[in-house]
Amino acid sequence: MKIALLPGDGIGPEVTAAARQVLDALALPGLVLFEGDVGMAAYHRHGHPLPAETLAMARAADAVLFGAVGDPQGDSLPREHRPEAAILGLRSELGLFANLRPAAGWPGLEDLSPLRPELARGIDLLVVRELNGDVYFGAKGERITEAGEREGWDSMSYSESEVRRIAHTAFEAAGKRRGRVTSVDKANVLETSRIWRETVIEVARDYPEIRLDHLYVDNAAMQMVRAPGQFDVILTGNLFGDILSDQASAVVGSIGLLPSASMGERTTEFGTFGLYEPIHGSAPDIAGQGKANPLAAILSLAMLLRHSLGRETDAGRVERAVAQTLADGVLGADLGGEASTETIAAAVVSNLLSIS
Ligand code: IPM
Ligand code: MG
């Protein structure tokens, strides 16, 4: 079993080091770890945020555990050298089209949600975000208008096959959950969304047991704060999914708790190849201070064990150790506590060792 660790920028190295302690505590036989440079750190060392050797390392692995990329120093760089280009490059080069972002309230932490506790308690949703298309990867550029002004432009598109494969992911995920898919688009305005919606309806015919509905993205954003408990699986495109998944993390209380998996079609000896990352970013304002909550990275490791290494039992153990840590009140600053990254990681490891 090969895992590529890509810590990246900001708090990425701290939280992936914590996840690594948890991985070490599992003592998996036959596990080999590689570590590569990515993001601003890689740009400084290799002149590119996604060096060829890092990409090759990711390709050769069964799974990638990713920290975060992003650095204020990158703001002035051309787009292809910005640290964000690294994660976008990995997603497209590795064909990771399906991004799974679960968001559920943690029992006992309802008070952390900006929503009323009775609303927060009911949240248990999964955002299935398309990750290889949309306005993210369309042609883009800058041109001069007839009036002599600079104009930025980006093109948005989805083909039927792109929509079909992510729709299958969502319907299959819903089959293992509460059997509901809400497809989110802007079909009242965008042609991209019209094709999206028509294709999702077509795919739904293969899943008669799943209940499908459709929301425009503005309405979906409103419903997520008004009545988030109504959602099971939210199926959406790259841009809307980016926005709604941050919102989903905020309504459960902390972005520091949410993991994600990005998967494609490639299978490995043990499962499906994937890249796993906390959904929080690099948080440069708190980097290097030992304040970052490593739980999202640790929960990303659990998803990696489950989906890419076929180690369901170990994944469950890690998740229970995290739940115990939260139940014991070992909370980072993001959750209103004072525990350091180190303290939280040590608590998870100790809980893990007492769970068989
Ligand atoms: C995310 C991030 C990325 C995205 C950035 C870092 C490019 O916001 O994973 O949600 O927009 O997809
Ligand atoms: Mg985002």
For residue 88, which atom of ligand 1 is closest to its CA? 7
> From the CA of 189, how far away is ligand 2's center (Å)?
23
Going residue by residue through the chain, which has 356 residues, state the pLDDT in tens, using 9 for 90 and above.
999 999 999 999 999 999 999 999 999 999 999 999 999 999 999 999 999 999 999 999 999 999 999 999 999 999 999 999 999 999 999 999 999 999 998 888 888 889 998 888 899 999 999 999 999 999 999 999 999 999 999 999 999 999 999 999 999 999 999 999 999 999 999 999 999 999 999 999 999 999 999 999 999 999 999 999 999 999 999 999 999 999 998 899 878 899 999 999 999 999 999 999 999 899 999 999 999 999 999 999 999 999 999 999 999 999 999 999 999 999 999 888 999 999 999 999 999 999 87
> From the CA of 86, how far away is ligand 1's center (Å)?
11
> From the CA of 21, how far away is ligand 1's center (Å)?
26
User: Quick check: helix, strand or coil at residue 28?
Assistant: coil
d(CA 2, CA 63): 7
Nearest CA among 56, 88, 99, 55 for reference residue 262: 99
Q: Taking CB atoms and a 6 Å cutoff, what residues make up the pocket around ligand 1?
A: 70, 84, 87-88, 242
Whats the size of the chain, residue-wise?
Answer: 356
Q: Are 273 and 94 within 8 A, CB to CB?
A: yes
For residue 91, which atom of ligand 1 is closest to its CA? 12
Relative to the alpha carbon of 101, which ligand is closest?
A: 1
Using CA positions, which residue lies closest to atom 10 of ligand 1?
A: 242
Question: pLDDT of 33-60, one tens digit each?
Answer: 999 999 999 999 999 999 999 999 999 9
Counting Cα atoms < 13 Å in the Cβ hemisphere of 257 gives 26
- Please state the pTM of the whole predicted model: 0.94
Best residue among 6, 40, 66, 88 to mutate for probing ligand 1, ranked by most atoms within 8 Å of CB: 88
Question: Exposed/middle/buried for 333, CB within 10 Å: 0-12, 13-18, 19+?
Answer: middle
Using CA positions, which residue lies closest to atom 8 of ligand 1?
A: 242
Which residues are marked as active site?
Answer: 136, 186, 218, 242, 246
Cβ atoms within 10 Å, residue 175: 14
∠42-44-49 over CA atoms, to 5°?
35
Per-residue pLDDT at 45: 94
For residue 277, which atom of ligand 1 is closest to its CA? 9
User: Quick check: helix, strand or coil at residue 211?
Assistant: strand
Question: pLDDT of 71-87, one tens digit each?
Answer: 999 999 999 999 999 99
> From the CA of 281, how far away is ligand 2's center (Å)?
8
AA identity, residue 127: V
Per-residue pLDDT at 111: 84
CA of residue 221 relative to chain centroid, distance: 18
> From the CA of 242, how far away is ligand 2's center (Å)?
4
∠224-226-229 over CA atoms, to 5°?
60
Per-residue pLDDT at 253: 84
Please enumerate in sequence order all residues whose Cβ is within 8 A of that of 255, keeping only pairs 6 or more positions apart, or say none: 246, 249, 279, 280, 296, 334
d(CA 351, CA 345): 10
Q: Are 86 and 30 within 8 A, CB to CB?
A: no
Using CA positions, which residue lies closest to atom 12 of ligand 1?
A: 242
Per-residue pLDDT at 105: 85
